[in-house]
Structure 1
């Protein structure tokens, strides 16, 4: 597969780097050989001119090579066609027995005073020069074979060195690129694995990309870290979705269960009323129908209130006198239930908090009703308002039996009901009152908490102050 059309990023980069190095090596090889050729042939031309100068300077009619006998630096194989008494005779400066080129071959060199490269039948290629002297025309030639051999060796060496450099480059780039793209490959594999996960339902465990080996400023490392953060957000979203779905399923099941009981009771008492032989039984059945209808209406109203609180992400709070709201709520609870002992600790001045007046009153009604409903007669319910660490804290405490340990962590969840330890009245709870309290308080930006043990259960509501006035004194009522 061509790296331009497919393959990994490392393979594509390696291909491009190797091609670039190959082109550069070829250019360097050509440049080196051509430069060497120019230098060597220039030296060859100077040798020819040197032979010419020395030959002319010492030439005699009886000895054309007189100027060359005692000279050094004349290349072996140098040939000269010089005039003698017998006519033009070819000479060669080489060991005895070496046959010189023929005079006819040397006469082919143009006598124009310029250097020419000729291919002689004996001796091969020569760099030759023909010129006139007082004794006649002379031709001087220096063999090219040594230069060509040197150029061939240099070319072979350059090509071999280039191939070695190319192979080393391929190995080195493969190793470096493999290491450099290791995290990128891991990132790609992780993304592919995530893309194949079943994300429609159920809990999802999203894998992560390992980035410990790479430098933190590396682009791939930064990309991997960002990818991990994105996967963390995705996993958190799926976890929240799963928790929300579980909560919704449980809510629907609990709501169906709570509605089924009064509906079944209404149906049963309706049939009883239809079959009642006398007015007394019929009147009793109608009374029970009314009671169950009231209970179901309250449950539906609470569900609608929770749905409305869920729909409104946040209520715009307003300044509210928390002392006045608590006083009114406790007064109403005391009038509704004389079986409990109601204590109140509030300051003599206002404590203004940021909340919704109607909802804050509903919060207090629900907390006091919870204490009244789930504690036996004679229980003391203590309500207080004070400032703690710059926040207004409203507490409703009772000395009842307490909330079971297994119920305490989910006491603010919907349809959560304590066991019989706190069910001491005939009034049936819907299990939504504390959920409404939590939703309302958090809607104003407040906090709600509970602590419970046998003999002391305390619900605390923390609210933001609208001012920073101190509470001068506390008023206690019984």
Structure 2
């Protein structure tokens, strides 16, 4: 049973469709044949019963009370069973005389040795045949009886002026006609099923050709190396097989949409991998310089102390070495100042590297969706504090504030917003010449939103940098200058923090006016 089910499951769609259609046609033909056979049988037996009725009426004569004597005397003498061989009765007709006690008496059948030969002759029935006739109900209706050695008969009881009789006619002609009809129906049905199978196979093959092309497209896509590298997914189902008005077209259109989504995902994956690789390369580049500086200054300090410190320790009082040590006092003083410079550079580079690592860690936490410490706070005091700090760090710039009369409440993390303000103001200070005017502005342009803008009148952002200005390690100069001490992560942190708060950040720039706009959802007013 399990093997049979497995075999059916391995049938192709073409085979299943053809077999299903042939089976359906076979069922329809069987129903039509059965109905036709039943109708034809009813018709033939109706005709046979009519002939039987006429023979029975001739055998029994008119009803006993309706008998009419011929003029001039008695009725002519007739043998009781002469209707069997008389005209109008088919060959093979049987007749039996029924006595007053209900028993079957004389019983004969007409026979003809040679078809279309001389007139039929009588042949007496056997006791078994008479017994079969005696079993027929005496209700005057036709009944089918099987007479031994003679076959099927339609038998009817008749009672009239000539007596009571059992009359029967053979059913061989009816059975032969029905058999012929059934054979014809079976042959025609078999031929029709074969023709339907061949035609159905051809039609299904043509109908499934678009589906095979869809499968071929899917097979070609499955053979593409999609696991790594840059993938160009250009395979699509032809438009002729992607018509949504047909079932196969719906499959093709769905596959095209799926391939489009997969292609978009692969492009996004490739872009993400490219950003990660660029990010790792930029981070390595940023960390390499402070590490090289620390290593170089540490090596310089070690060598200076190893050379001059040893000479000082070996010089005792009153010795030539002592005189030499006193003679090199200026050199030792220089060595000490050089060492202090080296240690200062080591500390500065270590501090810069720590800030870079802190920025990278913050970005990693924001990318991972770490929760922030949200609270309802007024944005204006944060802007005032950030501008005050920026004025202290950049006294050569002109700093201005534009604050609303009402509190600008936001539901945010104050520490992270402070970092956004610091980074925006530091970016303006770093990339504008001394004397530039930097304006920090807070507005509520629409209900439910708070707008923070930092504007400067510097030279502006280069056009080619604007699409990438919020990317990590993005810099405005090709030499990656670090004179300002930046890491290239300030604006990336701004975008990440603002996005974590459900806001947005944008920039518009022209020579003499660069504006960074931060939009944040408004919070409940602070008390």
Q: 1:110 aligns with which of 105, 112, 130?
A: 130
Asked whether 1:441 is paired with 2:498, we answer yes
1:340 corresponds to: 397
Cα contact 2:387–2:425 (8 A) shared by 1 = yes
Residue 260 and residue 82 in structure 1: after superposition, are their counterparts in 2 closer, same or farther (change >3 A)?
Answer: closer
Match of 2:382 among 303, 325, 334: 325
- 1:81 and 1:106 in contact (8 A); partners too: no
Secondary structure of the residue aligned to 2:117 is coil
Moved more, 342-351 or 318-327: 342-351
1:155 correspondence with 2:182: yes
The answer to whether 1:372 aligns with 2:468 is no
1:289 aligns with 2:346: yes
Shift of 1:414: 0.7
CA contact (8 A) 1:314 1:444 kept: no
Cα deviation for residue 411 of structure 1 reads 0.7
Structure-2 separation of matches of 1:440 and 1:97: 115
8 Å contact kept, 1:118–1:127? no
Q: Are residues 1:413 and 2:413 paired?
A: no
Instruction: Kindly indicate whether residue 256 of structure 2 is the aligned counterpart of residue 213 of structure 1.
Output: no
Q: Deviations over 1:287-320 (max 9, x none)?
A: 3333322222221222122223223444253222
Q: CA deviation at 1:76?
A: 5.9
Distance in 1, Cα, partners of 2:163 & 2:392: 151
TM-score normalised by the chain length of structure 2: 0.69
Structure 1 residue 351: Cα displacement: 1.8
**2-structure distance, mates of 1:325, 1:294:** 25
Alignment partner of 1:401: what SS? coil
The Cα shift of 1:92 comes to 8.3
Structure 1 residues 184 and 318, CA gap change in structure 2 (3 angstroms): farther
CA distance in 1 between partners of 2:109 and 2:277 (Å): 116
SS at match of 2:444: strand
Which range is displaced more, 146-155 or 223-232? 223-232
Q: What SS is found at the alignment partner of 1:110?
A: helix
Tell me, in whole angstroms, the C-alpha distance in 1 between the residues paired with 2:493 and 2:108: 129
CA contact (8 A) 2:398 2:438 kept: yes
Q: Which residue of 1 aligns with 2:508?
A: 451
**Which residue is 1:254 aligned to?**
282
Return closer, same or farther for 1:105/1:132 CA change in 2, 3 Å cut-off. Answer: farther
**Is residue 259–residue 296 contact of structure 1 (8 Å, CA) maintained in 2?**
yes
In structure 2, relative to structure 1, the CA distance for the partners of 1:340 and 1:142 (3 Å cut) is same
Once the two structures are superposed, residues 115-157 of structure 1 have per-residue CA deviations (whole angstroms, 9 ceiling, x without a partner) of 665777xxx9986899999999999775655424422342234
SS of aligned partner of 2:37:
helix
| Cα contact 1:404–1:419 (8 A) shared by 2 | no
1:215-265 CA-to-partner distances (Å, cap 9, x unmatched) read 7xx8x9998888877766665555444333322222111111111111112
Match of residue 473 from structure 1: none
SS in 2 for 1:347: coil
When residues 105 and 139 of structure 1 are mapped into structure 2, their CA distance, relative to the original with a 3 A threshold, is farther
Q: From the superposition, tell whether residues 68 and 90 of structure 1 become closer, same or farther in structure 2 (CA, over 3 Å).
A: closer
CA contact (8 A) 1:401 1:422 kept: no
Aligned counterpart in structure 2 of residue 12 of structure 1, from 9, 13, 16: 16
Counterpart Cα distance in 2 of 1:318 and 1:136: 121
Q: 1:129–1:310: structure 2 CA closer, same or farther, 3 Å change rule?
A: closer
The alpha-carbon deviation at position 384 of structure 1 amounts to: 1.3
The structure with the largest alpha-carbon Rg is 2
2:228 aligned to which of 190, 195, 201: 201
- Compare 239-248 and 19-28 and name the one that shifted more: 19-28
Is residue 401–residue 421 contact of structure 1 (8 Å, CA) maintained in 2? no
Among residues 45, 53, 56, which one is paired with 2:57 in the alignment? 53
- For residue 117 of structure 2, what is the aligned residue in structure 1? 98
- The separation in 2 between residues aligned to 1:454 and 1:345, in whole angstroms, is 22
Query: Is 1:395 matched with 2:453?
Result: yes
Superposed CA deviations along residues 313-361 of structure 1, whole A, max 9, x for unmatched, are: 4425322221111111112111221221222222344222222212111
**Structure 2: distance between partners of 1:38 and 1:337:** 115
Distance 2:152 2:31 in 1: 28
Give the SS at the match of 2:514: strand
Structure 2: gaps of 5 or more residues:
63-74, 98-106, 137-144, 305-330
| Counterpart contact for 1:270–1:285, Cα < 8 Å | yes
Match of 1:474 in 2: none
2:84–2:95 contact (8 Å) kept in structure 1: no
With the length of structure 1 as denominator, give the TM-score of the two structures: 0.75
Whether the 8 Å CA contact 2:59–2:165 is kept in 1: the answer is: no
Task: Tell me, yes or no, if the aligned pair for 1:80 and 1:138 is still in contact at 8 Å.
Answer: no
CA contact (8 A) 2:92 2:109 kept: no
Secondary structure (helix, strand or coil) at the match of 1:450 reads: strand
Kept in 2, the 8 Å contact 1:415–1:430? The answer is yes
Identify if the C-alpha distance between structure 1 residues 338 and 125 changes in structure 2 by more than 3 Å, giving closer, same or farther: closer
Q: Distance in 2 between matches of 1:90 and 1:227?
A: 81
- Among 243, 246, 268, the alignment partner of 2:296 is 268
1:404-447 superposed Cα distances (whole Å, 9 cap, x missing partner): 22211111111111117997x83232001111111111111111
SS at match of 2:377: strand
